[in-house]
Amino acid sequence: MKDKKTTLPFSEVFDGLKPRFQELDDMRSSWREKEKSLSIFPIAGAIMVILGLAFFKVEPKTNTPDYGMLVLIFVGLLTIVVGLRERVSRMLDNKDFYKDQLMNSLVNTIDPSFRTKPNSFIEKITFLRANFFPHTSIGQYEGKNLIMGKRGDTDFRFCEIKVHDEKENGAFSAFKGLFFEADFHKHFEGRTIIKPKESGGLFRSKINPLEDMGAEEVVMEDLEFENNFTVYSTDQVEARYILSMRMMRDLNELRKRLNCKIYASFYKGNMYLAIDWNKGLLAKSWTKSIRSQELVKGYYNDLNFCFDLVDALNLNTRIWSKRPGRGEGAVGSVQLAVGSG
């Protein structure tokens, strides 16, 4: 097992990154100013439309409209559309570039070998493969803030995703949060899924996500784990091999720490986690100044939390015969299919 990466105290990280953050914040402020100045075009367009409408007349004798005013209204509308489009597209470009730089700076401090792609996300097929919501017709799938790397011997990647359930009467949010994929440290053949325990006591609905594959519910010995989660697996012994006492304890701890729903799935040598996390990575970074230590500390802690999942779930303990990254579905093996937001 390789040593855990030591995490620097935040004050040291912040001091080290201060010059870079100042530079980034100056860049952000100047871009925001420029964006504001681009508002002049839609405003001018609106004035033209208002004037055109105010002075528009139709000659009563010949019944001909005032073509000059019509042209003014048309030009005004065109200016509004082009101006707004230009402003939004420039804002998005700048925002993406800025977030990319900010995320890179923070992630590099934690581990320079990690790669970030703020506009990308883990492909939909991987989410479907994890089979967290088998009875949901997943329609729109979008995401951002993809980060990938190798912690110790464990390949991992994660991103934020939003998944919609398309029903006959409209689309509903099925899941919004963090999607995490990592190379699991033990070899296994079957399928195991862990779902948060449904509330509702005796009348709770128990939907077996692997019913088609002949999977059954697995009753675990850890009572706290049993109260928090329901396990389904195609192999009762393998489920217990995956869910060692320690793994159950770690998942209990994680749930306690986050106080939100956690889904886990094990398939083709990989572990998938979906964490119903309301927090967004680098949220509000475009509108707020990163000179504020508190704001950056929040970003830093959130990122560290994601990287620490590998350690928290003990995935770096490599004492079994499975060699790192040798799973059938090696993490990130479908790099070309990484979605783009």
Partner 1 sequence: MTIFISVLVLGLIPSIWITRNYNSFISKRNRVDYAYGSIDVMLKKRHDLLPALVKVVQLHLQHENNLADKLMELGSQTDQEMGPVRQKIEFENQLSHQLNQWRAVARKYPAFRSTENFLQLQASLNEAEEQLSAARRAYNGTVFAYNTSIERFPANILAKALGHEPLAMFELADTARETNFVNV
Neighbour tally for 12: CB within 10 Å: 10
Which region among 39-47, 176-184, 235-243, 302-310 touches partner 1 (by CB under 8 A)? 235-243
Give the one residue of 221, 256, 291, 334 binding partner 1; rule: CB under 8 A. 221
| Shortest Å distance, C-beta 270 to partner 1 | 18
Would you give the binding string for partner 1 spanning residues 184-203, x where CB under 8 A is met? --xx----------------
Nearer to partner 1, 199 or 321 (CB): 321
241 touches partner 1 by CB under 8 A: yes
Which region among 67-75, 132-140, 272-280, 313-321 touches partner 1 (by CB under 8 A)? 313-321
| Shortest Å distance, C-beta 220 to partner 1 | 8
Beta strand pairing call for 192-196 and 262-267: antiparallel
Cα 320 to Cα 178: distance, rounded to the nearest angstrom: 28
336 touches partner 1 by CB under 8 A: no
Give CB contacts under 8 A, 24+ apart, made by 333-339.
334/123, 334/125, 334/126, 337/123, 337/125, 338/117, 338/120, 338/121, 338/122, 338/123, 338/146, 339/120, 339/121, 339/122, 339/123, 339/124, 339/141, 339/143
Beta-bridge mates of residue 170: 167
237 touches partner 1 by CB under 8 A: yes
Cα 251 to Cα 231: distance, rounded to the nearest angstrom: 12
| Shortest Å distance, C-beta 216 to partner 1 | 10
Beta-bridge mates of residue 59: 64
Neighbour tally for 85: CB within 10 Å: 12
| Shortest Å distance, C-beta 194 to partner 1 | 16
| Shortest Å distance, C-beta 38 to partner 1 | 59
278 touches partner 1 by CB under 8 A: no
Residue ranges that bind partner 1, judged by CB under 8 A = 186-187, 219, 221, 236-241, 244-247, 314, 317, 319-321
